[in-house]
Amino acid sequence: MPGNAKRYISLVSAFGIAAMAYAFVDLPWPHDLLRFCSYVLLSLVAATLKVRLPGLTGTMSIGFVFVLLGVAELTPGETMLMACAGALLQCLWRAKSKPAGIQVLFSVSAVAISVMLTYECCTFARARFHAQPVAMVLAVATCVYFVANSLLVSSVLALVRRERLRVIWRQCYRLAFPYYLVGGVVAGLVAASSREFGWKPALLILPVMGFVFWFYRTYIERREMLSAAALPR
């Protein structure tokens, strides 16, 4: 592995650990323990539903929906705990090969940094525009989380492969952004319904994301099959 890549991984890991420590300082007990535990459990289940994007060694799951929900409804510490637990399980669950410790640390750290950046940007947007609409918060959260997480991962791939970041990012994530947008819409519907009808009935919307995941994974697999079939033999 190139020296630049090693230094970058160390830097991201350090910032990720700092972000987790910052979020967990004076972590309050959840106001609604049942709700928090339910979100964590569902987030862990979502982390096992993953798809491998072309050009990536890692995977993408639907766990980001619960990160967006956490930004809208939970504290930074609660969201950080839920997101990092999901990222850890995603790395380890049915992995094709056992990931190295540094790979797991980098993946979790990238999620931690993305969560903290998302929270800070949403807090700034709330304060700057004096608005609390769920749609506005989730729109900011979806875009910031996607850009932050995708750039952190694409950067390490660019350093390892010695390729341009722009090329790597477009190759790996141009198909993922619509997926994130749909996830943001689902999270927004759940958050808005939760405020109107309570969080338990609102969870009935989540199976929609399961259908989106199935459709997206099928699309990626067929795309890979067609690409493989088009290669010269």
Could you give the C-alpha distances from 11 to 5, 14, 153, 171, in angstroms and in order?
Answer: 10, 5, 13, 24
* Per-residue model confidence as pLDDT tens digits over 144-172: 999 999 999 999 989 988 888 888 888 77
User: Alpha carbon of 166 to those of 63, 104, 186: distances in Å?
Assistant: 25, 24, 29
d(CA 85, CA 44): 7
Residue 85 has pLDDT above 90, yes or no: yes
- Domain segments of the chain as ranges: 3-27+34-230
Is the overall model pTM greater than 0.85, yes or no?
A: yes
Q: What angle do CA 176, 60, 94 make, to 5 degrees?
A: 155
**CATH class assigned to 3-27+34-230:** mainly alpha
| Of 117, 59, 65, residue with least CA distance to 88 | 59
Q: Give me 199's structure tokens.
A: 């969080």
Instruction: List the single range of 106-110, 162-166, 205-209, 218-222 with lowest mean pLDDT.
Output: 218-222
* pLDDT in the model for residue 10: 95
